[in-house]
Structure 1
């Protein structure tokens, strides 16, 4: 099944800019990441959107797609509804804020947390998501602790869905961390960068986006 293949996103992949609200144009990879990641959610699932971002929409997009949604971020404003609305107004414009279902903001179970020290019990989640986060963590030892924490809070057979910016995240080094954390690729993989890989130079350098489907190592 193609959704389980760990690889670069390409322009042939499904794209959706309307994820709870119309995503900004410069969020070049999110138009692909969110709609792909949502394929791993089922109605009876308990899921985690880790390092979810203040106004980023994935945690809200998931609330009618599964049993329970948990989300965490280090930004203390994540618990302040007014601050979240300000962020949403920045993304969509104050004139368009009425187009967002603001009642959904209270539905995810949100907490302030560092992904390398998750405040959840063992084996709580069916699926954990970490969308475009690892490239912001320069210390590989912190990346490793985060991966170990994801493994801890996942149920047996649970999936960890991760996307990263390349080349900010080195594929081979990241794969070694995945293995060290006791995780494994859940399906096929091909990390050769294809000619049609989605890319952007919005941030002043060429970036591409890679997706990983991981699960607990049974060993």
Structure 2
């Protein structure tokens, strides 16, 4: 299937555990999510990594690839490089921190922000990424406002690249929110869970991961 097909990730998809650093084994879906999302990041793009996490590496991958990189998170420590380094040391060990290209940590333009109230002007981004975030937002109204905010900050031809954990996020309900937000699926989609869908019970329950490629509804 094409890279812009919205669907469950499967074990046949490309996997890469080395994205800026060696990802922890239990980050089961990130091994697939990041490498897939990377297909949508181009050299001349202005991009957003939304709810980027303190030590999560995708924003730094983008910083080495795109024209301008913005990243936001609710954690105020995101503005402190020393705190980010501490988080990286936790993930990879202090003895391995010299393997990190530390100057790149200062390239993303960081902001402390909830994704339902993004601090960016209208039509700013070529691509916005939201990787494994929505399942942590229980309030569907907040999910809707977040999708509306993504629509607002995307350029007219921009894309929202988003992944969610299933069944924490119900597909039909989420598709309704997408439509209500003024966004729509790009390309083909198939939300039937295949037998080879990637899965994990690390968090005490069975989880699968779904990817969506979205754009603004044309008016």
Partner residue of 1:212?
Answer: 212
Aligned-pair CA distance for 1:157: 1.1
Partner residue of 2:74?
Answer: 74
Partner residue of 1:91?
Answer: 91
Q: Is the partner of 2:120 in helix, strand or coil?
A: coil
Aligned-pair CA distance for 1:41: 1.1
CA distance in 2, matches of 1:190, 1:22: 31
TM-score (norm 2): 0.99
Partner residue of 1:167?
Answer: 167
1:106 has 2:117 as partner: no
Partner residue of 1:23?
Answer: 23
RMSD (Å), alpha carbons: 0.6
Unaligned runs of 5+ in 1: none
Q: How does 1:1-219 map to 2 (within 5 A)?
A: 2-219=2-219
Aligned residues: 219
Is contact 2:64–2:104 with CA below 8 Å preserved after alignment?
no
Runs of 4+ in 1 over 6 A off after TM superposition: none
TM-score (norm 1): 0.99
CA distance in 2, matches of 1:28, 1:193: 17
Aligned-pair CA distance for 1:50: 0.2
Unaligned runs of 5+ in 2: none
Q: Is the partner of 1:59 in helix, strand or coil?
A: helix
